[in-house]
Amino acid sequence: MRFNAKDLALLAKRPSGCFDKEGKLKICRVVGDEKLIEPRERWCRLKGNLLFLMKNKSSEASEVVILERCWVVEFRSKTDVSIILKFQSGEPDLYLEAASKSDCEAWAVALGEANSEGLRNKIQQLRKLIMEIKEERTSDEARQFLPSSQVDTLGEPQFTSIQRIANEPKLEFSLACKGLVAATRDRKLNTFIQVSVVHPAEHILTRYSSTEIVEGTRDPLFLTGVTFPPEYPIYEETKIKLTVYDVKDKSQDTVRTSVLPDHKEPRADTGRSFLGCTTFRVGDLVKSKEQQLTLTLRTSDGGKTVGTIEVNLVKMGEFEDGEMDHITTDAQDQKFLCFLPLKSCSCGFLSATCAHNTENLERMTDRRAKEECALVRECTAPEGLSGKDNLPSLNAVLKNPICKLYRFPTSDNKWMRIREQMAETTLSFHVPKELINLHIKEDMRRNQELKDLGELAPHWDNMRKSVIAHCDQMLSMYQDTLAELGKHTGSSFKSSCSKGEKTLEFIPINLHLQRMHVHSPRLKDALYDVITVGAPAAHFQGFKNGGLRKLLSKFEAERRNTGYQCIYYSPENTAKAKEVLSNINHLQPLISSHADLLLNSASQHSPDSLKNSLKMLSEKTELFVHAFKDQLVRSALLALYTARPGCVLKKPAVPRSSAEEGDDLKHQDHPSQIKRQDSIPHHSEYDEEEWDRVWANVGKSLNCVIAMVDRLLEKDNSSKIKEGESDPSAADCKVLHAGGDWYEQLYPLVITLKDCMGEVVTRAKQSMAFVLLQELACGLPQCLMLTLRRDIVFSQALAGLVCGFIIKLHTSLHDQGFLQQLHTVGLLVQYEGLLSTYSEEAGMLEDMAVGISDLQKVMFKVIEAKSEDFLPIITGRREHYVIEVQLPAKMFELLPQEIKEGKLLRMYPVLFNVGINEQQTLAERFGDTTLQENINQENLELLKEYYNLFTEKMPPDCLPHFQEQNDLKGLLENLHQNIQAKRRKNVEIMWLAATICRKLNGVRFTCCKSAKDRTSMSVTLEQCSILRDEHQLHKDFFIRALDCMRSRQTQGALNESDDPETGCLTDNKPTSRHFYPVALLLVSSHLLVVWLILSLALLLAKYQ
């Protein structure tokens, strides 16, 4: 419990008349029947449920006892003057001894009534007395804030749960008003309904949500419904209060009024006025025959009727019939107001509202609602796999789902229902922590390999010491970051206001799943998922010198001109060195284990086991030998030889051009003609053939083992034929003797193989470690800082990718066409970027482009879960990662055989960016958009590559989308033309890329700086466009549906001052497909020109 020590100290020193009781008591702690210490006299003061213990009346309080979850034990004997306080928490009892029997009884009564349970009993008694006086004339409205509850023998309330379908929301209903009465006869009402919940256990009124505003009618039909998620603590005894408000001044009416107490009407200057309210029990709605309640709206004093309100219970899968035509006709004349005032925060969508202030929303519900609950999945599962089977694995990834319900009319005058859901993901922290742990292990292994290089010449040894010192500093930083992330508690995502915190720089910003479930009257149910996340970027490091794209290019150019200080290796060669080291660490233990299995099979005289062990040993050894057939290993060994003490170079190290590198293999047999191998010096005393002999000995040793096994098996077969007619007992003795001979004959050959392999591993490890030493030495400390920045960006990008893959796999588990596409071609991952190419956002875009490109190194593998932990497992190194996704056994059985056998699944990430805010206007008019154009062009080629693989490897009748092959080809051509056109703010690029992604069964991402304003505008526009194009949304309701989804008011009480990025409100708030009001662009651009002219005039006047 949090408390203010100063306030408590002041409370303890208040005058005597301010306390409920005070006096001297002897006090000590008791465990069982034994007193821990002798009772000591203390001055005790009781105020409410706080008992202050003081040494004397004038001293400060030495201890405060909170009298909750405790009870008083009073001894009834005439002589006993002591009582005991027992605590439910299990802490030692508190022994209190008074001076007299009467004083003891007075303290027992006072302490017994001090806690909340005693106060509750008093309130119940007072309520009964009031009811008796009023002869129970009051209705349910008079006691709606203090409903009576049934209490069992343990004192815990028992409530009736709502019967519902598994995994469905507990309760959903829609609202409509009729015959509302205005204050003046001529006034047209602009109304919305505020929904509040009265929890029966705590008797607390909590604001839950609100509808959109409907303008110009006294019979408003609200398109926004109310939904309670599966784990929300709502029961039949729960009461729901509906309050109707009339918005007078729409431009000033914001959610700022939500800070008012719920029982009070807002002031007149807030822009809205109270019309009426009503209350109903959830049980009455659920048990009503027509699943509908018609309630009377009354003023706050209950004396005047101001209209009626209809509450209709909603069940996804059932349709509203009957009066649809007349409802739609009436709705045509209604106007809907979007709660997006130009000068207030515009984050109306679920992602925007909840991303930066989930804590505020959680405070609006019961504490039990914060517990993890499953995201509702509405896709049709195959027989034998229920939605319940998916919940454990989904609960491991998703948490805190928030739902919104809408009903929109279709073009054929029917209702379709839309459930919009947002969920956080635990992967926001899980993936970065796993990744940092891998980085730490990789860096520790690299540092050890550098130390194992052996003795080096002074120049190289000093270089090694410097590199190791810098690497140790970076390693310590990774370890500190991992430790800080391990201490993190609270929400499972990083809010936008925390993007600059160093301890959270590996965590993605506002990573959420946005899901829209559409239930149409004549079309099949559909799910549409979009992952929203802030652009992967190193915000803490800043963008003063640009992003990764520019920094890497600049660093590589500088590293080529390092001169004589170190040897230059190209990025391809350093990547190859890391790959060789990884293969060594992976293959060496495998070969050693297979060699041991071979000897074990020989000792058991098992021919079949011997053949299998030999086969596995041969395969792994061949891979091992093949890994060193590279000129890089040979040249690195030469460089390492020249770096040893006592070696004198014939020629100084001279930088090489890339054109000269191709001639090395032609002249490797003529030492006099070798100038340099990748800037590596040549030494005349070095025996170049020694390495060939060393790694060739591994192959020769393996051939000897194979020949010996073949000879042993051949002898075994011939002996079995000859001994078939002999005595069986004699044959058994022969077999035992032969088994010993097999082991004795194979053992020296296997030992030789291991020795040869060990020599190869030692030399190869040292040579590749020397290559990495050059890479680090040539760019200290920039190299390590760039590696850190790249790790940060990649960590953010990978967390989103893993989330998207798991959600897509769960959603499409029954789609055999998708599963075949997944293991045959791979998965398309399309990122929609909304960053500008101006100022810092240009650096963010550079980071984001590199981070998404690095995702091509990631492979996925689906495995069967062996425990209840379904979180993904990450293995690999910086150049190659494998993500193992765990599925429960029932789900795993649905996968194709190729995936079940562990086939690695490729990812094809593509990024298309179009800046849409005011900063992009500056970039297009006065800056440079080349970065955006280059990124779009490069990723278009990647998208075409995926499409070509898709058409080549997939059978034409496999996917239904192949019926639209010509459409896909046309969309690609259209996308190509739009990218080449280079038009300003060409949002057609994003629409075309998103459509292609959906048709190719891809995963969609939408990103902006913080995944708030621009992202929410984009996602809601995309959702409404899908409803219009795919589900026949009525054309007159497109803007109204868009307004409902963007309305902040529908997301519950959120104060404008709660927005952590109020300063970012200059982002555009589009109401059309092209995202940006043209008039505003014209005004802002002209003002900008005027500002530039005035600034220039002032500068000239200053320096003249």
Q: 1078-1103 vs 918-926: helix axis angle to the nearest 10? A: 60
In angstroms, the CA 886 to CA 866 distance is 8
Residue 1019 phi/psi, 5-degree rounding, is -70, -45
Alpha-carbon distances, residue 818 vs 183, 405, 821, 825, 1005 (angstroms) = 59, 29, 5, 10, 19
Residue 294 phi/psi, 5-degree rounding, is -115, 115
- Report the amino acid identity of residue 490: G
**Among residues 777, 768, 778, which one has the least CA distance to residue 463?**
777
**Among residues 709, 683, 722, 711, which one has the least CA distance to residue 618?**
709
Instruction: Decide: 256 and 1055 in contact? Cβ < 8 Å.
Output: yes
Helices in 27-115 by DSSP H: which ranges?
101-112
843 CB-contact burial (10 Å; exposed 0-12 / middle 13-18 / buried 19+): buried
Place of tokens 């896709």: 379
Burial 178-196 (b: 16+ CB within 10 A, else e): eebebeeeeeebbbbbbbb
In angstroms, the CA 128 to CA 176 distance is 37
CA-CA-CA-CA torsion for 479, 482, 483, 485, nearest 10 degrees? 160
In angstroms, the CA 262 to CA 195 distance is 10
Q: Residue 525 corresponds to which tokens in the numbers above? A: 């149910």
Please count the helices (runs of H) and the strands (runs of E) in the chain: 28, 28
Q: Residue 1103 corresponds to which tokens in the numbers above? A: 């320096």
Q: Residue 165's CB: how many other CB atoms inside 10 A?
A: 11
Instruction: Decide: 1034 and 341 in contact? Cβ < 8 Å.
Output: no
Q: Residue 536's CB: how many other CB atoms inside 10 A?
A: 28
Q: Residue 218's CB: how many other CB atoms inside 10 A?
A: 15
DSSP track, 607-663: HHHHHHHHHHHHHHHHHHHHTT-SHHHHHHHHHHHHTSTT---SS------GGGGGG
DSSP track, 705-742: HHHHHHHHHHHHHHHHHHGGGS-HHHHHHHHHHHHHHH
DSSP strand E in 221-371: where? Answer: 226-228, 239-247, 272-281, 292-298, 305-313, 335-337
Catalytic residues: 1008
Place of tokens 């292990």: 441
42 by DSSP, 3-state: which? strand
Residue 173 CB partners (closer than 8 Å, separation 6+): 225, 226, 285, 311, 312, 313, 314
- The DSSP code for 1100 is H
752 by DSSP, 3-state: which? helix
What number of CA atoms fall less than 13 Å from residue 1058's CA on the CB side? 23
Residues 124, 125, 129, 132: is their CA dihedral positive or negative?
A: positive
Report the DSSP beta bridge partners of residue 73. Answer: 84
Strand (E) or helix (H) holding 97:
strand 93-97
